[in-house]
Structure 1
Amino acid sequence: MTTPAEPADSGLDPSLSAIMGERRQLINLAYRLLGSLADAEDVVQETYARWYALSRQEQEAIESPGAWLTTVASRICLDLLGSARARRERYVGEWIPEPVPDRAEWASARPDGDPADRVTLDESITMAFLVVLDTMTPAERVAFVLHDVFRYSFAEVSGIVGRTPAACRQLASSARRRIRASQARPAPAAQLGGIVRDFRLAWEAKNIDVLIGLLDPDALAIGDGGGLISAALHPVEGGERIARYLIDLVSGTPALAILERTVNSQPGLVLQADGVTTAVLAFEIAAGRIKHIWGVRNPDKLRLWTAG
């Protein structure tokens, strides 16, 4: 699950090229640690600011600039995670990680963007995975992501987290147990896509019986409107209640388009009105039925989902 750094641009000064070549790695790391691309971009900007605040002699004394940048970015994320719970207690409604599109969608939304800002899509970025990460303590999350996703040794993690290698091993082990206990066994991509497609067709047709059949009886739907727009302030529980809620939603917006898109490396749906994305839905599917739906409607988290 390693996410490689962006190849360096040979046209740059070699030392600058090596430093900037770490940007994608840092974006990928910070996004997985924070669940927010906006926050990840801020972390990377702060990391580079600290690098350039060093004197030339201090920079040259650093044996591995990439390791230095990763350490600084991880520590900034660790500090942010420590205050995140307090911030989210003031968040109106439920908080869901910021969804990211696949490369094609990203390119259409950011035609002039830096390719190094793109998040590498793999199993460590699914919405279900990020939601479980968000239940961990900051130290657990950092230790697990650095070791299990980015393949840092526990000795290296120790220097970042400020705990012994043995303690970091225990943190990662605890996090791993949370992942195993919370996530359903992944189904083949074709099966996931087929279920999401059937769900879209039934939703468009307002066929409540088919929708209920596709949903697990104990399914849970969580919406994130950020307190800015209409969204369920509390999770909607039960397949039948979710189906009725979704039909009411599309009935109130006749011109709503429901599109199949890749959301955090998994089949998902995007809702658009007049070409503007109003919601992004991610799914967790187990035993052929939809177990979780995460619907992001907070406009601040939909920057990448509307072309232009």
Structure 2
Amino acid sequence: MTVGDLVTEFEAERGHLLAVAYRMLGSRSEAEDAVQETWLRYAGALTDPAARARVGQLRAWLTTTCSRICLDVLRSARVRREAYPGQWLPEPVVSELPTADGFAPDPAERAVRADQVGFALLVVLERLSPEQRVAFVLHDVFAVPFGTVAEVLGTTTAAARQLASRGRRAATAPDVPRHTADLAEQQRVLAAFTAAVETGELDRLVRVLAPDVVLVGDGGGHLPAGRRPILGAETVGRFLLGIYRQAGRFGGRLRARPVLVDGTLGWQLEMPYRDDRTLRMVSAYAVHEGRITGVFHQLNPEKLSGLPTLGPDDTWPPRG
């Protein structure tokens, strides 16, 4: 095969591979690196026509190769994340609100959002071992047969089933914020949330929050975000009112834009911070039965470097 043939064949699968890698790693940049490494292995292994002919389904071969790369990354990342300052949240994929076909126009963003698992589930996946996460994502999200999952993990089919089952139980544990709302319900709930925040009335805000709501913030050591989750409607409500009350002191300099965060409705915000810095934040929400069950604040600037700067029309409260 020519180099051009290899490139064409691989590019047809890039979106799928990026979606797989992002769900395994929770980082867009690490996922892109894993896909690039997959390309290098593909180009090195399948240039020979005879070797390419022995590959039955290219997508399966590429998915297996990419998954093995991700597994190695996850195993090495455990040490880094155990030493992470404070709470760890995934690097969000932020995109514009849906167009008529329900997707953002950027093909890369569209690929990552395909087979969407949502930001809340990406947070839950951090509880899993690397092997459980790979097994769960491959089988439950992308319907990869357990035989192939076992091949990726270097184990038996029975063991692969058990690993995916453990991942499934973790994803549906009682303390996991449930997210079942479609975009229309998310819009209604966040509109009520915004109105409650604007009034500053705790009782009104609490009615929008689930009794067992959890709030998680990731400052990465750069910004204060709390070292532990905040639990319970009243505690979370007081915390949120404090944030927006403080932000309100900056008057018109608080900016916000409604966006999709890994396919669910959220906000991108900017506000002045000490030392003349600008605090940038992406907020994602889990919504179930008309209430917010999870609030996720990503403030780590290292995970928000790709965000566009908000403009003068992006005022608070955010307008959808």
Q: Report TM bin, short chain.
A: 0.7 to 0.9
Q: Which residue of the partner structure matches residue 23 of structure 1?
A: 14
Which structure 2 residue ranges, 5 or more long, are not aligned? 99-104, 273-277, 311-320
Give the conservation status (yes or no) of the 8 Å contact 1:101–1:304: no
Deviation (angstroms), 1:176: 2.0
Change (3 A) 1:298 1:201: same
Give aligned pairs, total.
Answer: 291
Q: Contact between 2:218 and 2:297, CA under 8 Å: does it hold in 1?
A: yes
> Which AA in structure 2 matches 1:160?
V
TM-score by length of 2: 0.80
Cα displacement (A) at 1:142: 1.0
233, 248, 255: which one aligns with 2:242: 248
* CA deviation after TM superposition for structure 1 residue 145, in Å: 1.2
CA shift in 2, pair 1:221/1:91, >3 Å: same
Aligned to 1:147: 139
The Cα of 1:212 is off from its aligned counterpart by 2.1
Corresponding residue for residue 295 of structure 2? 293
* Aligned counterpart, 1:177: 169
Say which SS state the counterpart of residue 252 (structure 1) adopts.
Answer: helix
Provide, for residues 33-83 of structure 1, a one-character-per-residue CA deviation record: whole Å limited to 9, x for no partner: 011111101111122122333473275355244333222210111111122
The structure 2 residue matched to 1:40, chosen from 31, 42, 45, is: 31
CA contact (8 A) 1:100 1:304 kept: no
Matched with 2:314 is none
Per the alignment, residue 68 of structure 2 pairs with 75
Confirm or deny: 8 A CA contact 1:123 1:265 kept in the other structure.
Answer: no
User: Are residue 258 (structure 1) and residue 262 (structure 2) matched?
Assistant: no
Distance 1:25 1:262, change over 3 A: same
Match of 1:191 in 2: 185
Separation in 1 of the partners of 2:32 and 2:110? 11
Shift of 1:210: 1.8
Say yes or no: does 1:86 pair with 2:84. no
Q: Would the alpha carbon gap of residues 102 and 248 (structure 1) be closer, same or farther in structure 2, given more than 3 Å must change?
A: same
Whole-angstrom distance in 1 between the partners of 2:279 and 2:211: 29
**Aligned pair 1:53/2:18, yes or no?**
no
Counterpart residue number, 1:233: 227
Aligned to 1:97, which of 85, 90, 106? 90
**Separation in structure 1 between the aligned mates of residue 192 and residue 224 of structure 2, nearest angstrom:** 26
Question: Quick one: structure 1 residues 188 and 61, their matched pair in 2 at CA, closer, same or farther if it must change by over 3 Å?
Answer: closer
Matched position secondary structure for 1:217: strand
Cα shift at 1:21: 1.5
Deviations 1:153-193 (CA, angstroms, capped at 9, x unpaired):
11121211111112212222222222233353613432222
Unaligned runs of 5+ in 1: 1-11, 106-112
Q: Cα RMSD (Å) of the superposition?
A: 2.9
CA distance in 1, matches of 2:40, 2:115: 31
Pair 1:114–1:256, CA change in 2 (3 A) = closer
Q: What's the offset of the Cα at 1:117?
A: 6.0
Between stretches 41-50 and 23-32, larger displacement belongs to 41-50
